[in-house]
Amino acid sequence: MQRVIVLGGGMVGSTIGADLSGEYDVTIADKNVQQLQRLESLYNVKTKIIDIIRTDIADFLKEFDLVIGAFPGHIGFESLKAIISTGKNVVDISFFDRDPFELDELAKMMNVTAVVDCGISPGLSNIILGFHNERMKIDSYKCYVGGLPFKKTWPYEYKAFFSPIDVIQEYVRPARLFTDGKMIIEDALSDQELIEVEGIGTLEAFNTDGLRTLLKTMKIPNMVEKTIRYTGHSNLMKIFRETGFFSEEKTKVNGTTIRPIDLTTKLLFPFWQPEKNEEEFTFLKIKISGKEENVRKEIIYEIFDKFDHKTNTTSMARTTGYTCTSVARLVLEGKLKNKGICPPEYVGAIPGYYDKILNMLKQKNINIKKTEKLI
């Protein structure tokens, strides 16, 4: 039986490990001992304690056939580099701020398949775009994505269903997009627009830096990715950002040196902590416009996924984790052979793989609605 290690045992990492444990020998590694004990009691997985900063990663990973990276973004790039350096194939979901193609030469030299950004968006959205990019000349790509609690609780009307420090990164990293063939850099949280979601009502969408590898791999003149929240959230986060609460620069307060972000997270994150088995949803909408066989069309994908009471799994963990495990299975089965950095759009471009992945998601009751219209 092939051996898989999941580095990171949070909401998404534990879902990934649980999903693969029926077919593979799975180990979940994390530094949170109580969380590891809980996972061992719930799932057919082994566990290991790891502090990625202090661990000899080569020795730690030597017995495994595939590594899955599910660390927070601030340690994601260096962790990915360390994994690739061991010669192990890896599927990664970390939201780091570096260009993964910086590691392409290393991955090819080590004969490694390194799939990056393999969540819902980036991730599934890239797979869908990669598929259509092979079949049509696309001139516009728009992606809207977000996860929210059904219950709107004052003051934030938000809960973090993945790494909360990565949520803050969405609010501070400049958003890169393409307009009329030119890369434009806008502030995160900018260009707010309203979007209607059936059964929920009016939400707001704003610019975030979610295009990532698509900025290099796609020649599409107009591309944008936006995050969705309940209305008013983005303005509140702008106030936090502009006042300096998200700053990582040290400052002195009554003789004590602190980083504002450390105080902010200490005070803010308890408000963002989901309740046990809290009802929540994930929404993804993709609009692709262009010409296919000389016919102009618009293709729209929508996913509306909810908390799964049968498995007590959040929709964010489901949509992110099961995209990751779908691709991981392709690697473990020897079907995905790309060497080097392999963003999900490369996977979607391979004949048959878009269908395989969407079918695997359908088996998990992640329903994807697709509509087409001539324009």
Q: What is the pTM of this model?
A: 0.96
**In this structure, is residue 374 part of a structural domain?**
no
Whole-number pLDDT of residue 347? 98
Residues of the chain whose pLDDT is less than 50? none
On whether residue 375 sits in a domain, the answer given is: no
Does 343 share its domain with 284? Answer: no
Residue 321 and residue 272 share a domain: no
Largest Cα span, the chain: 68
Q: Is residue 154 part of a domain?
A: yes
Helices (H), strands (E): how many in the chain?
Answer: 13, 18
Contact 172, 241 (CB under 8 A): yes
Residue 233 burial (CB < 10 Å; 0-12/13-18/19+)? buried
E strand or H helix that includes residue 196: strand 193-197
Q: Is residue 186 situated within a structural domain?
A: yes
Burial of 215 (C-beta count, 10 Å sphere; 0-12/13-18/19+): middle
* Count of CB atoms situated within 10 Å of the CB of 258: 13
pLDDT for 356 equals 97
CA torsion angle for 300, 301, 306, 307 (degrees, to 10)? -150
> pLDDT, tens digit, for every residue of 265-276?
999 999 999 999
Residues 281 and 322 reside in one and the same domain: no
Residues 192 and 212 in one domain: yes
Range of the domain at 246: 124-306
> Helix, strand, coil proportions of the chain in percent (round to 5)?
35, 30, 35
Q: Are residues 327 and 267 in the same domain?
A: no
For residues 196 and 256, state if they share a domain.
yes
Q: Are residues 139 and 264 in the same domain?
A: yes
pLDDT at 53: 72
Quickly tell me which residue has 């000349």 as its tokens: 137
pLDDT of residue 253: 92
- How far, in Å, are 88, 89, 215, 333 from residue 113 at the CA level? 8, 5, 21, 13
Is 311 within the bounds of a domain? no
Q: In the block, which residue shows the tokens 């799994």?
A: 313
Check residue 162 and give its pLDDT. 83
Measure the CA–CA gap between 67 and 62, rounded to whole angstroms. Answer: 10
| The pLDDT of residue 74 | 87
Strands 193-197 and 3-7, bridge-based pairing: unpaired
